Every structure is written in C-alpha cells, then in structure tokens.
C-alpha cells in the first residue's frame, strides 16, 4: 500500500486523522487504546472533513478505518456520557443528536464511502460504517449493538437495518446485544462483502487509483451461524411481548435458545422492552432519518433512566458485572411506562438536524440471511 501521511484537521482533535492517497480521502479513527470510541470532537471533525471532500473533485471516494489492532470502533464514549448524564448537563443528548447527524451524512454521502469493518465494530462503530455505500467485514469482525447491556436501546439508525434482517434475527440481536461474525453481518444487511484483512491495503490502492468498487471485491456468499439459527429464533421472537419471548426461549430445546434466554435475563428489563417496541416501529418506518429521530427521542428519555447510569457503572466503571436494574425482571416492567416513552413528540433537537437521506437510507432487501459474545469487551470500550 502507498505510504500516507495522516494528520488532524487544523485546530481540531488528533483523535481522528485524515490523508489523501491518490483519489481516495481516508478517515482514520485514532483512539486505539480504547478501540477508537467516539466523542463529540471526533464527530465535529468528521462532519467537517466529509463536507470538504464532498466538494473536492480530486476525491472520488472516502474510506473509514480504525487505528490499532483491535477494531474499527467500539462505540461512543459511554463512560464520559454517563458522567455528563449524572451532572444533568444535557450534553449526552446533544452528543447523540450530533452523532446521528453524522450517521445520516454517511448514508446520504454523494461519493462512494467504503468502511473497513475489521475487528470490533459495536454501537457507534456500526453507525459510522453500516450506513456507508460499501461495507467490508473481515475474518476478525465482531459486530454488535450491545446497548441493552448498559440500560440503553440500540441506536445510530441500526434498527433501520436490523428490522429488515431476515425473519426475527434483528429482534434477537437488538434485544440480547449479542455479537456476531462478519458473515452474519452480511446476512443481516449490515455489511456487503467479506474480505481478508490482509487485502485491505490493496483495496485502498485500488480506491487511490480511482477505481469504483462494489461488493465484488470480496465474498458475498459466506455463511454465518444466524441463518441456521432461525429455526429457533423466528418462532421464539415472534410477537410484541418481551415476557412471552423470554418464556419461549426458555421452553425451546435448542442450547442456543437457552443461552439467549440466560443473556436476555441479565439485560436491563426496561431497555429490552424499549428495544423490542423500537424495532417493531422501525420496521414500518420508510427512511433512516425517521429511525434516527426515534433514536434521539429514546435517548432523551433513557438518559433520565437510572438504568443507563447503573449499566455503564456495572460494565465499564466498577466492572462488577452486577447491575441493579430498576426492574427486577421483564414481568415487573409496566407496559404503560414503555408506551409512554413513545407517546410524546420526537425530541425537538432532532428537528434541527439535516437528517434526510436522498434514498431514505434504504438498501435492497436480501433474500435470506455466531459465535455469540455477551456485551462488549469491558476493558477495551472506554478509557
């Protein structure tokens, strides 16, 4: 691969860097010690750079990569967000609004945007990659939306994609937050092709030469584990009742169904209930921007929930992995409380953001669609 000199935008954070390699503008998330988790300064820089390159005739395509060996991006800096939530400053909701604006900008970008989804790609890492025009996973990819493990709901527009995954796979992943392979990401519509990690430099060289690439750069037929798991996933996750879903998983003889039940029982009951209703609603939304607005509405509501503060504490601060959720179990969640979260107007700040995407953010449906890991790697997600 050709040598590239990465540098920060003048006057902006060095936690995201940029380079021009031939006709390719390259974005490098640069917080490798914490798997490149996102903060507001990084989002501001990325949006500004995307805008510049959109109007630069010398740039034909943009790529997104993560620094270090562990992955593209482990999500947003939720430890920092927990701190501002506890302070009551409102900065968390403003960050989410800004991040979702970036997700929308990526989905509607006027030039090819190639995301290298190597290694850990979780939460906000999905948002910065899965809405791109060419999404490439590798043999090392571990993808997840693990928000229910920290008392939150899957966001960054992920439910637009997961709600359109085959059968009830998306519901399973949204409620449990379990991780899955690159091949499964393709089956779910979160990625386009599987490549070998060692092929990334050659693909960047092709982009630098001005070549317009598509999913043909890799394999689109690699089989993951989730397609076969639909034998138990589809019947167990049918319906809109989280309690019934957990009972169906418990009653199913498949060991993986039993494991999913065990995992689901550890998640925030309130967040799981919200996630189920959110993905059902997302299925009927026509555009990515509508789902992002729902994400912001839910984020504003859940930031006030004790479960978010407690979930981040248990998983990432004290790391005792023993959260004390506000509800003891799914049966204790009042469905009127869940409905109330969805009853109000969409959060006002969402209306201030240019979230519309020319194609609605919708990708062609796939005909048919893991090794699971409960929750993100605790010691690596944040500083």
Is residue 40 within 8 Å of 90, Cβ to Cβ?
no
Residue 116 pairs in a beta bridge with 136
- Host domain of residue 243: 16-349
Is residue 96 within 8 Å of 299, Cβ to Cβ?
yes
Q: Which of 115, 97, 95, 118 is nearest to 107 (CA)?
A: 115
Residue 4 lies in a domain: no
Number of Cβ within a 10 Å radius of residue 380: 16
Residue pointed to by tokens 């571990």:
142
Task: Divide the 383 residues of the chain into consecutive groups of 10 and give the mean pLDDT of each group.
Answer: 87 98 98 97 98 98 98 94 87 95 98 98 98 98 98 97 98 98 97 98 97 97 93 97 98 98 98 98 97 96 90 93 96 94 60 41 35 39 37
Report the C-alpha gap between 168 and 174 in whole angstroms.
10
Kindly list the distances between the CA atom of residue 322 and the CA atoms of 1, 149, 280, 377, 379, in Å, as whole numbers in the listed order: 46, 11, 29, 15, 16
Is residue 131 within 8 Å of 124, Cβ to Cβ?
no
Report the C-alpha gap between 34 and 383 in whole angstroms.
6
Is residue 79 within 8 Å of 316, Cβ to Cβ?
yes
Q: Which of 145, 320, 143, 171 is nearest to 242 (CA)?
A: 171
Residue 369 lies in a domain: no
Report the C-alpha gap between 245 and 258 in whole angstroms.
12
Report the C-alpha gap between 89 and 155 in whole angstroms.
21
Is residue 204 within 8 Å of 1, Cβ to Cβ?
yes
Residue 302 lies in a domain: yes
Query: And the tokens for 361?
Result: 């953010």
Residue 70 lies in a domain: yes
Report the C-alpha gap between 11 and 9 in whole angstroms.
6
Residue 373 lies in a domain: no
Residue 383 lies in a domain: no
Q: Which of 346, 345, 269, 277 is nearest to 306 (CA)?
A: 269
How would you classify the pairing of strands 120-122 and 71-73? parallel
pLDDT at 32: 98
Residue 382 lies in a domain: no
Residue 67 lies in a domain: yes
Is residue 327 within 8 Å of 333, Cβ to Cβ?
yes
Q: Collect all residues with Cβ–Cβ distance below 8 Å to 318 and sequence separation of at least 6.
A: none
Kindly list the distances between the CA atom of residue 268 and the CA atoms of 259, 307, 311, 331, 354, in Å, as whole numbers in the listed order: 17, 7, 8, 12, 32
Sheet holding 193-194, edge to edge: 16-21, 24-29, 61-66, 113-117, 134-137, 193-194
Number of domains forming the structure of the chain: 1
CATH number at 222 reads 3.90.226.10
CA 331 to chain centre: 28
Report the C-alpha gap between 338 and 271 in whole angstroms.
9
pLDDT at 347: 44
Three-state secondary-structure class, residue 269: helix
Residues composing the chain: 383
pLDDT at 358: 38
- In eight-state DSSP terms, residue 38 is B
pLDDT at 258: 97
């Amino acid at each position: 691969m050709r040598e590239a000199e990465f540098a920060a935008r003048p006057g902006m954070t060095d936690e995201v860097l940029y380079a021009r390699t031939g006709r390719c503008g390259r974005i490098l998330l640069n917080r490798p010690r914490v798997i490149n988790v996102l903060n507001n300064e990084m989002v501001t820089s990325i949006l500004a750079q995307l805008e510049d390159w959109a109007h630069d005739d010398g740039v034909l395509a943009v790529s997104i990569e993560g620094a270090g060996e562990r992955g593209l991006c482990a999500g947003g800096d939720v430890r920092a967000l927990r701190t501002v939530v506890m302070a009551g400053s409102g900065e968390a909701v403003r960050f989410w609004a800004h991040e979702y604006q970036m997700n929308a900008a990526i989905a509607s970008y006027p030039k090819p945007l190639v995301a290298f989804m190597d290694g850990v790609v979780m939460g906000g890492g999905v948002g910065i990659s899965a809405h791109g025009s060419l999404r490439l996973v590798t043999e090392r990819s571990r993808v997840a939306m693990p928000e229910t493990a920290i008392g939150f709901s899957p966001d960054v527009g992920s439910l637009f994609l997961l709600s359109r995954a085959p059968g009830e796979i998306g519901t399973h992943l949204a409620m449990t937050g379990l991780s899955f392979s690159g091949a499964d990401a393709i089956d779910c519509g979160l990625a386009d092709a599987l490549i070998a990690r060692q092929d990334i430099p050659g693909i960047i060289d092709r982009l630098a030469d001005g070549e317009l690439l598509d999913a043909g750069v890799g394999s689109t037929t690699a089989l993951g584990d989730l397609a076969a798991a639909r034998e138990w996933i589809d019947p167990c996750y049918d319906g809109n009742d989280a309690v019934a879903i957990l009972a169906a998983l418990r009653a199913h003889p498949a060991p993986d169904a039993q494991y999913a039940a065990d995992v689901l029982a550890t998640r925030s009951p309130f967040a799981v209930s919200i996630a189920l209703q959110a993905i059902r609603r997302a299925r009927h939304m026509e555009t990515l921007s509508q789902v992002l607005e729902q994400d912001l509405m839910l984020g504003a509501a859940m930031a006030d929930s004790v479960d978010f503060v407690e979930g981040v504490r248990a998983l990432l601060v004290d790391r005792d992995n023993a959260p004390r959720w506000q509800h003891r179990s799914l049966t204790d969640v009042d469905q009127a409380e869940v409905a109330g979260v969805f009853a109000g107007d969409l959060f006002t700040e969402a209306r201030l953001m240019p979230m519309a995407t020319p194609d609605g953010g919708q990708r062609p449906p796939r005909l048919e669609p893991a090794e699971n890991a409960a929750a993100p790697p605790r010691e690596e997600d944040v500083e």
